[in-house]
Chain A
Amino acid sequence: MPPATDLGWWGVVIAVLGGAARVSTPYLFVSLGETLTEKSGRVNLGLEGTLVMGAMSAYAVAYLSGSPWLGVLVAGAAGAAFGLLHGGVSTLPRVNDIAVGIALFLLGTGLAFYLGKPFIEPVAPRLPHVALGAWSASPQIRAALEVNALFVVGAVLAPLLLWGLGHTRWGLVVRTAGDNADAAKALGYSVGAVRTLSTMAGGFLAGVGGSFLSLYYPGTWNEGLSSGQGLMAIALVIFARWNPIHCFWVSLLFGGATALGPALQSVGIASNYYLYGAAPYVLTLILLIASSSPRHALAGAPSELTISK
Chain B
Amino acid sequence: MSDVTLTRRHIVTGTAGLLAASGLTSLLPGPEARAAVKPLTVGFIYVGPKNDYGWNQAHAVAAKKIARLEGVKLIEQENVPETVEVEKVMEGMIRHDGAKAVFATSFGYWPNVLKLAPKHPDVLFVHIGALWKEGDPKNTIGYRGYMEEPHYLCGVAAGHATRTGKIGFIGSKPLYFIFNNANGFILGARAVNPSITCQVVITGDWNNPVREAEVTNSLIDQGVDVIVANVDSAKVVVENAERRGIGTCGYHTDVSELAPKGFLTGAEWNWAAGAQFVKAWQTGGSYPNLLRGGFRQDMVAISPFGRSVSAEVRSKILKIRQGFIDDTFKLYQGPLKDNEGNVILKEGQVIANDDNKFKLAVNFLVEGAIGKTGLKK
Contacts and interface: CB of A to CB of B under 8 A. Distances in A.
> Is the A/B pair a real complex?
yes
A63 to B, nearest CB: 13
Interface stretch (B87-95, B134-142, B217-225, B314-322): B217-225
Interface stretch (A4-12, A33-41, A296-304): A4-12
Nearest to B215: A262
A218 B220 contact: no
A180 to B, nearest CB: 40
A222 interface: yes
A120 B244 CA distance: 22
Interface in A166-224: 213, 217-220, 222-224
Contacts of B201: 262, 265-266, 270, 273
Interface in B224-249: 224-225, 232-233, 235-236, 239-240, 243-245
Contacts of B232: 224
B215 A4 contact: no
Contact of A266 (B164, B221, B225, B236): B221
B374 interface: yes
B199 A224 contact: no
Given A218-B212, A222-B233, A123 B239 contact: yes
B164 A4 contact: yes
A89 B329 CA distance: 68
A222 B210 CA distance: 12
A220 B236 contact: yes
B221 A23 contact: no
B214 A258 contact: yes
A23 B210 contact: yes
Contact of A1 (B53, B210, B245): B245
Interface stretch (A13-21, A46-54, A98-106, A242-250): A13-21
A224 B208 contact: yes
Interface stretch (B20-28, B44-52, B64-72): B44-52
Nearest to B202: A273
Given A223-B48, A273-B204, A15 B210 contact: no
B252 to A, nearest CB: 13
A271 interface: yes
Given A3-B163, A271-B374, A273-B202, A220 B209 contact: yes
A15 B208 contact: no
Contacts of B243: 126
Nearest to B168: A266
Contact of A223 (B79, B208, B214, B244): B79
A113 B51 contact: no
Given A262-B214, A265-B201, A268-B370, A222 B225 contact: no
B290 interface: no
Tier of interface size on chain A: 35 or more
B179 to A, nearest CB: 12
A227 interface: yes
B160 interface: no
B26 to A, nearest CB: 30
B211 A258 contact: yes
A95 B48 CA distance: 35
B6 interface: no
Nearest to A227: B208
Among B79, B211, B214, chain A packs the most CB atoms within 10 A around the CB of: B214
B218 A218 contact: no
A23 B214 contact: yes
A97 B214 CA distance: 35
B19 interface: no
A140 B218 CA distance: 9
Among B163, B207, B222, B245, chain A packs the most CB atoms within 10 A around the CB of: B222
B51 A259 contact: no
A117 B372 CA distance: 37
A11 B221 contact: yes
Nearest to A4: B223
B240 A219 contact: yes
B199 A268 contact: yes
Among B168, B217, B221, B244, chain A packs the most CB atoms within 10 A around the CB of: B221
B267 interface: no
Contacts of B49: 117, 120, 222-223
B309 interface: no
A274 interface: yes
B222 A7 contact: yes
Interface string B331-350: 00000000000000000000
A218 B245 contact: no
B236 A218 contact: yes
Nearest to B212: A218
A143 B372 contact: no
Contact of B221 (A4, A224, A258, A261): A4
A284 B279 CA distance: 57
B240 A218 contact: yes
A61 interface: no
Contacts of B168: 266
Given A227-B211, A262-B215, 16 more contacts: A4-B220, A7-B221, A7-B223, A18-B217, A120-B52, A218-B209, A222-B52, A222-B209, A223-B48, A224-B232, A227-B205, A266-B221, A268-B371, A270-B200, A270-B201, A274-B204
Interface of A: 1, 3-7, 11-12, 14-15, 18-19, 22-23, 113, 117, 120-121, 123, 126, 139-140, 143-144, 213, 217-220, 222-225, 227, 229, 258-259, 261-263, 265-268, 270-271, 273-274, 277
Q: Which 8 A-B pairs have the closest CB atoms?
A: A218-B213, A224-B207, A266-B218, A262-B215, A121-B51, A270-B372, A262-B214, A218-B209
